[in-house]
Chains A and B, each alone.
Chain A
Amino acid sequence: MAASEELTDYMGFQELLGDEERLVRRQARQFVNAEVLPGIERCAQEQRFPRDLVGRMGELGFFGPTLPPEYGGAGLSSVAYGLLMYELERGDSGIRSFASVQGALVMYPIFTYGSEAQKRRWLPRLARGEAVGCFGLTEPDFGSNPAGMRTRAVREAGGTWRLDGAKMWITNGSVADVAVVWARTDDGVRGFLVEKGAPGFTAPEMKGKWSLRASVTSELILDGVRVDEEQSLLPGARGLKAPLSCLTQARYGIAWGALGAADACYQCALDYALNRIQFERPIASFQLQQEKLAWMVTELTKGQLLALQLGRLKDRHLATPAQVSMAKMNNVDAARQIAARARTILGANGITGEYPVMRHMTNLESVYTYEGTHDMHLLIVGEAVTGIPAFRP
């Protein structure tokens, strides 16, 4: 299928965008059409991350674009950033994941909690894609409940810290030059910058995924890793609310991004349904297929309007974490179901790499689980409306 030039905009939400927001989206779309779509299916089939895209995305300012220019950002609005995520994920959730991690989970905490020297050292290089970052919160035994984490950091004499523990499911882990590692200390949870090659630090890649195959996922093993306090400890990050604040940033981008994947599936299914002839008619003329298409475009449209209003709130610093949870939960779930329905419309073709649908569909299984599972976000919204936390009995 030819790379489509326009996104699906059933309710005209683009009328509500500013000129530069439209321009950002169009540039991102052209970039994805020209440089992501031609090779991404092959990368996914071969379980290979398209490393060569990192430099190009950096040149175009795709990493941490909401940060101010003095640290390599562009001062973009949250909505423009969301549209960027939409277009990147229309290419592949793995590409968007890379950008989410680099921008929201690595550059954001360094910018928000780092010292001036840490910011100067890392942010411009991360923005240009000359350095890659990863974010290590999840552990083998602590996923939805990171408060239980076992990774420990102990302060030693002479201004160093010693880190021990293991992280799991870490996007970009094996290709990262710097890892933001969250660890328990006597002083609560703190964040550390751990550099590639530090003695005792390894990041083996996890293979055999059926989802996000064009993205690197790794373990981080910290075995008596010694880091310098000034270079490594993020001075402003105290307590679990620091890593959670990063997740809120990334989840916001995912709320937009997942719709990009959904849009690719919807457009593909619509095109297919109009052209595939069975019983001497296009399958799009059968009510059962129309029900799917109508449902898909309706959910996509609702998701766009939800994400847009959330972005406008975020730009005014009014978005709450529970509102971000609602958008992540709703839009990823919608995307997941849109992809699954699109797959059925494509019949047997739907399971092949000739079409992008099955790749998006399996990718979205990760997106549904990471950055807070769908269930956890339901509980967060549940707590927000009832005032009663239901996370534990």
Chain B
Amino acid sequence: MKLLVTVKRVEDPESRIRVRPDGQGIVTDGVNYKMNPFDEIAVEEAIRLKERHGGEVVVVSLGGPAAAAELRAALAMGADRAVLARHAGALDPSGAAALLERLVAQERPDLVLLGKQAVDDDQNQTGQLLAGRLGWPQATFASKKEGLESPAEQAREPGLALSADGARLRVAREIDGGLETLELELPAVVTVDLRLNRPRFASLPGIMKAKKKELREVEAGALGADLSPRVVVRRLLEPPARAGGVKVADVSELFQRLRGEAKVV
């Protein structure tokens, strides 16, 4: 089976993020970058599917040349080859989905795996928009029955299971208050949630082998997709600084304050 997996380069959530004084972006000085953690889970799941059923894992990234580092990281985990669609400037979810649609047409995967969202702007739209454009079935928030997987759990039934004839995929997905299981006809689009798996560390031999794997660069503009943003970011603001808490004497004072000061009841 052929799997296409998205790998986005994002600001490391552990870095200290500050808004530029002009509100037109963030201060990139001293910020570290890494693979979107949800995409890392998608790469791990793709590699596990390949290990069980054979096939090929192609990782794709949309953005500047620096994203090659995150693609190499995915290759080091065990992906087979990488495509970087180079694009300077902003790309909103509809632009990303349009671009991915073109890459899907080129690569013809059986399954596209994406993180449910990227931890930079938390949009949670690209997978859904892509499925809509392709007219493919989709399952969002693929997950697993229990919390973070133990070794025993890993050996048990996976969150994504391929049918014996290879034509359908069963996906457990997170919904409010539980899990729902969907069965999709392939080709399909699946976005993954936090609890699906725990991504492996790349081994040092894996990292060295990744240097020799194919990383193809294409100009996003040359793919003929409409990349003009539907959503424009006008200004970024720091969240207001948290004021210190207050102690209330009793419940009636609490209600008084909630009504009078906070105006929430």
Which residue numbers of A lie inside 8 Å of B, CB to CB?
5-6, 19-20, 22-24, 26-27, 30-31, 59-62, 65, 69, 73-76, 80, 84
Contact = CB atoms under 8 A, between A and B. Distances in A.
B179 interface: no
A27 B12 contact: no
B35 to A, nearest CB: 10
Given A5-B14, A6-B32, A22 B205 contact: no
A20 B68 CA distance: 11
For the complex of A and B, the 8 pairs showing the least CB-CB separation, nearest first, are A61-B204, A5-B14, A74-B204, A74-B205, A61-B203, A65-B204, A74-B208, A60-B203
Contact of A31 (B12, B68, B201, B205): B201
Contacts, number: 60
A331 B73 CA distance: 30
Contacts of B201: 27, 30-31, 60
B205 A61 contact: yes
Given A5-B32, A6-B14, A6-B32, A22 B204 contact: no
A76 B12 contact: no
Contacts of B73: 23, 26
B210 to A, nearest CB: 7
Contact of A60 (B32, B204, B208): B204
30 contacts: A5-B12, A6-B32, A19-B68, A20-B72, A20-B210, A20-B211, A22-B69, A23-B69, A23-B72, A23-B73, A23-B76, A23-B202, A23-B210, A24-B204, A26-B34, A27-B76, A27-B202, A30-B201, A60-B204, A61-B204, A62-B204, A65-B205, A69-B205, A69-B208, A73-B205, A74-B205, A74-B208, A76-B204, A76-B208, A84-B204
Interface string B187-211: 0000000000000011111111011
Given A60-B201, A65-B205, 20 more contacts: A20-B72, A20-B76, A20-B210, A20-B211, A22-B69, A23-B69, A23-B76, A27-B207, A60-B203, A60-B204, A61-B203, A62-B204, A65-B204, A69-B208, A73-B205, A74-B203, A74-B205, A74-B207, A75-B208, A76-B204
Contacts of A5: 12, 14-15, 32
Contacts of B204: 24, 27, 60-62, 65, 74, 76, 80, 84
A22 B70 CA distance: 11
B14 A20 contact: no
B39 to A, nearest CB: 16
Interface string B52-92: 00000000000000001100110010000000000000000
Contacts of B14: 5-6
Contacts of A59: 203
Contacts of B207: 20, 23-24, 27, 74
A24 B76 CA distance: 10
Contacts of B32: 5-6
Interface residues of B, number: 20
A59 B203 CA distance: 7
Nearest to A18: B211
A24 B202 CA distance: 8
Contacts of A76: 204, 208
B246 to A, nearest CB: 21
A80 B205 CA distance: 12
B55 to A, nearest CB: 24
B69 A19 contact: yes
B205 to A, nearest CB: 4
B213 to A, nearest CB: 12
Contacts of B34: 26
A75 B201 CA distance: 18
Contacts of B69: 19, 22-23
A5 B201 CA distance: 15
Q: Name the residue among B12, B204, B211 with the largest chain A CB count within 10 angstroms.
A: B204
Contacts of A62: 204
A74 B202 CA distance: 12
Nearest to B75: A23
Contacts of A84: 204
Contact of B72 (A19, A31, A60, A75): A19
A69 B203 CA distance: 13
Nearest to A12: B30
A76 B208 CA distance: 7
Contacts of A22: 69
A103 to B, nearest CB: 11
Q: Name the residue among A22, A26, A27, A31 with the largest chain B CB count within 10 angstroms.
A: A27
A27 B72 CA distance: 13
Nearest to B68: A19
B177 to A, nearest CB: 30
Nearest to B32: A6
Contacts of B205: 61, 65, 69, 73-74
A61 B206 CA distance: 9
Contacts of A24: 204, 207
B123 to A, nearest CB: 24
